[in-house]
């Protein structure tokens, strides 16, 4: 039976959203996802997102996530903004009203500020190696020998694992080489999303992210959150950080331990279709 879908993006990080509210618990085939995600022979997307009835009674809806290679994902900052915008356009949620949504990694609270602007409570950044997970004792920064290159990074979980490296220039060829190697490094038992952050000024970062299961993307919402959180934890940034990604800019606000982190940015509709 043909399935309807909506193509959306959050500053270039693109998604196909499917409405499974009447088909809860469906498990898509990984090979089928990879075929649909192909940029030349499929629809083309970074992740597939399903909208389903909530499992948690405290949440309004559940959303599932799968990477372009068909592997399951725990969270996606740009994706949840698109979910909120989709639900708002569908009439399922209201503007300026906080709504609790359930993801594979736990609940998040969203608030639609306008037709294409959403703010999300991403929870408190978790620096515990057990939570990331990272096979190292807890430290502010970590150092790995990556094929003869010494890589120093901060690590944090934003519902998914992140490593953040501060570099002088995100366009350096070293960045292109290290990204894929760190994403699959054995120290990250579940892989990692690897962000390379360049400081442009107080409260301003330029960021590129190599995502596990998707590769280099135009934007990574949880990656922007991770970069801002690590920067603040290391004393490199304050409570509010503007993060420039290849696809656009996100605003991240975090007041430190004991507080949740908020991400604000756009969500755009591209087209609808049927497969």
What is the 3-class SS of the chain, one letter each residue? CCCEEEEEEECCEEEEEEECCCCCCCCCCHHHHHHHHCCCCCCCCCEEEEEEECCCCCCCEEEEEEECCCCEECCCHHHHHHHHHHHHHHCCCCCCCCEEEEECCEEEEEEEEECCEEEEECCCCECCCCCCCCCCCCCCCEEEEECCEEEEEEEEECCCEEEEEECCCCCCHHHHHHHHHHHCCCCCCCCCEEEEEEEEECCEEEEEEEECCCEECCCCHHHHHHHHHHHHHCCCCCCEEEEEECCEEEEEECCCCCCCCEEEEECEEEEEEEC
What's the pLDDT at 40? 97
Q: Is 76 a catalytic residue?
A: yes
Q: What is the largest CA-CA distance in the chain?
A: 54
| CATH code for residues 4-123+267-274 | 3.10.310.10
State how far the Cα of 236 lies from the Cα of 33, in Å rounded to an integer.
39
What's the pLDDT at 2? 63
Comparing 4-123+267-274 with 142-258, is the CATH topology the same?
yes
The ranges assigned to domains in the chain are 4-123+267-274, 142-258
What's the pLDDT at 24? 73
The architecture of the domain spanning 142-258 is Roll (3.10)
Q: Is 190 left (phi over 0), alpha (psi -120 to 50) or beta?
A: alpha
Entry pTM: 0.91
Looking at the DSSP assignment, which residues form a beta bridge with residue 177?
Answer: none
What's the pLDDT at 94? 98
Q: Is 82 a catalytic residue?
A: no
- Residue bearing tokens 């430290």: 139
Task: Catalytic residue, from 59, 82, 220, 225: name it.
Answer: 220
List, run by run, the mean pLDDT of 10-residue segments along the chain (275 residues): 87 96 85 96 97 97 96 93 98 98 96 96 97 98 96 97 98 98 97 98 97 93 98 98 98 98 98 94
Task: Catalytic residue, from 59, 76, 82, 225: name it.
Answer: 76
């Amino acid at each position: 039976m043909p399935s309807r879908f909506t193509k959306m993006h959050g500053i270039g990080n693109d998604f196909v959203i499917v409405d499974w509210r009447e088909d809860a618990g469906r498990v898509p085939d990984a090979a089928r996802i990879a075929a649909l995600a192909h940029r030349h022979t499929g629809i083309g997307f970074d992740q597939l997102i399903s909208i389903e009835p909530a499992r948690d009674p405290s949440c309004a809806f559940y959303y599932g996530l799968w990477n372009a290679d068909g592997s399951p994902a725990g969270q996606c900052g740009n994706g949840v903004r698109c979910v909120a915008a989709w639900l708002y356009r569908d009439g399922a949620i209201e503007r300026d009203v906080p709504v609790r949504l359930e993801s594979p990694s736990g609940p998040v609270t969203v608030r639609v500020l306008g037709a294409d602007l959403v703010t999300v409570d991403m929870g408190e950044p978790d620096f515990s190696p057990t939570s990331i997970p990272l096979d190292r004792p807890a430290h502010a920064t970590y150092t790995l020998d990556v094929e003869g290159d010494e890589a120093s990074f901060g690590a944090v979980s934003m519902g998914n694992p992140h490593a953040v490296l501060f570099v002088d220039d995100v366009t350096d060829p070293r960045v292109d080489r290290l990204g894929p190697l760190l994403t699959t490094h054995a120290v990250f038992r579940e892989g990692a999303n690897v962000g390379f952050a360049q400081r442009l000024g107080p409260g301003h970062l330029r960021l590129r992210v190599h995502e596990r299961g998707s590769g280099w993307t135009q934007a990574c919402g949880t990656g922007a959150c991770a970069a801002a959180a690590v920067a603040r934890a290391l004393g490199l940034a304050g409570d509010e950080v503007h993060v420039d990604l290849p696809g656009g800019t996100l605003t991240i606000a975090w007041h430190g331990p004991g507080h949740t982190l908020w991400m604000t940015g756009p969500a755009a509709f591209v087209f609808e279709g049927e497969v």
